[in-house]
Amino acid sequence: MEPELSNLRIDRSEKRRTGPSPWVTRFIIAGIAFFVLVGAGTLAWNRLNAAVTEVEAVRVHAITAGGSSSEPIILNATGYIVAAHTIEVAAKVVGKVQWIGVDKGDKVRQGQVLVRLEDDEYRAHVLEAQGQLNNLKAKLAELENGSRPEEIAKAKADVEQARADMDDAGVTLKRTQELVKEGVFPKQQLDDAQAKYDDAAARVVSLQRTWDLVKIGPRKEEIDSMRAQVQQAQGTLDYAKTQLDDTVIIAPVAGTILDRNVERGEFVTTGFVGDKGAKGYVVSLADLNDLQVELDINQNDFAKLGPKTRGIVTTDAYPDRRYGGFIFQISPEANRQKATVQVKVQVENPDSYLRPEMNATVAFLGDAKTDAGAPSRAMVVIPATAVRDNAVFVISDDKAVKRTVKLGGTNAQGVVVDSGLIGGEDIVVNPPADLKDGQRVRVKA
């Protein structure tokens, strides 16, 4: 039995399994995590819904003073929002952009520095012109002051010296004449003595005239000529300073930057402008508080409009926002190809929602009459229950936005709003007592 017992062994290669498999464990953990996440999401959703206040809402409509439920629209036309005045700010001198301090969309004030050009060359021109002017001013002062006493004294001394020389030459000439008669000197020596005397006499006459001129001073014409040269040099200096000042480009009016046309290091010119070469202007700007709608009115509809016809302006981007307007300009000529007449409508009280080149629609209002015979005007009437402390709550982006309104009288439809609403807004009626500005709301079905 011993050999058989010695061969008996316990096989420990397989481990004893007392629990579930690893895959089962992982599945159970994933299931628990899923249910935890679902529960947390449900709880967060319930809390979010609890924070949203259900309210009753009504859409505001503008009606006519005569009580009509619709505005007297005589024509609808579409066009584009444009700035009344767009300015392309250009440089008055050529140069390379050294610094630019604005970007597209920036608001600037009148006189604000927009761009600086390199100015080393223009500063050198100013220094050169200043030096030339100083030089000519000194010469003019010299002429205006006349001769100095020292110059007059020197001219007089020169005359006296010349006269002394002439007298000495005269004595020599007289003596030579006597000696020539006696035969002591030859006639040639007499000729030399005569020539010397004549030269001395001529010198006296010349220096005498010089002395007279020194005493009189410069001629008036010479002074006037120098004054003209000084004025010319002053003009050259002023021009050089103007060019130096023009290297700093400022905003001519207050407005908003529509386009930035240059970058640092680019060359700005006042002449020819190439697609990839020098730029003709640095920025374009406009006053976005002065906007218009540019329309092409069909000639068949043109007779419906008058010079100051009013209208309601809306945009495709914000159809619920309405703006008042009136015809500001009518083109003096029609477009033959399109059979239209261009009309510009001035937008009253534009805001930041309106931007140039937006699509816009203008609903032109007619001349509907009230019972009293006076022209009607569009007004906004809201339920009295929507007003709280001279304010209403306007629903915007699922939030209640508090807006102050100016109330007028009342009529059968409700309370008249003189300002604060234009029509098209959704407002809360019977607002809860705890409703606050900016609170999330949901309109009851």
pLDDT at 412: 62
pTM score > 0.85 for this model?
Answer: no
Fold of 73-85+287-365: Elongation Factor Tu (Ef-tu); domain 3 (2.40.30)
Band of residue 73 on the pLDDT scale cut at 50, 70, 90:
confident
Fold of 125-242: Helix Hairpins (1.10.287)
Residue 238 scores a pLDDT above 90 = yes
Convert the pLDDT of each residue in 18-28 to its tens digit: 555 666 666 67
Domains of the chain, by residue range, sit at 53-62+377-443, 73-85+287-365, 87-118+249-286, 125-242
What is the average pLDDT across 383-405?
Answer: 88
Number of neighbouring beta carbons within 10 Å of residue 110:
10
Q: Does domain 87-118+249-286 have CATH number 3.40.50.970?
A: no
Residues 6+ apart with CB under 8 A from 35: none
Query: By the 8 A CB rule, do 235 and 81 touch?
Result: no
- Interhelix angle 187-216/149-181, nearest 10 degrees: 160
Q: For a pLDDT cut of 90, what percent of the chain falls above it?
A: 33
Query: By the 8 A CB rule, do 256 and 250 touch?
Result: no
Least confident segment among 241-245, 270-274, 323-327, 417-421 = 270-274
Which token pair is 254? Answer: 């207050």
Band of residue 275 on the pLDDT scale cut at 50, 70, 90:
low
Fold of 53-62+377-443: 2.40.420
Q: What are phi and psi of 150, to 5 degrees?
A: -65, -35
Alpha helices in 219-319 (DSSP H): 220-245
Query: By the 8 A CB rule, do 408 and 417 touch?
Result: yes
pLDDT at 375: 42
What is the average pLDDT across 307-311?
Answer: 89
**Nearest CA-CA partner of 410 in 381, 372, 375:** 381
pLDDT at 292: 95
Band of residue 254 on the pLDDT scale cut at 50, 70, 90:
very high
**Nearest CA-CA partner of 396 in 435, 332, 441, 348:** 441
Q: Per-residue DSSP letters for 383-423? A: -GGG-SSSEEEEEETTEEEEEE-EEEEEETTEEEEEES--S
Convert the pLDDT of each residue in 212-226 to its tens digit: 777 777 778 888 899
Give the integer Cα–Cα distance in Å for 275 and 282: 14
* CB contact burial 269-296 (16+ within 10 A = b; e otherwise): beeeeeeeebbbbbbbbbebeebbbebb
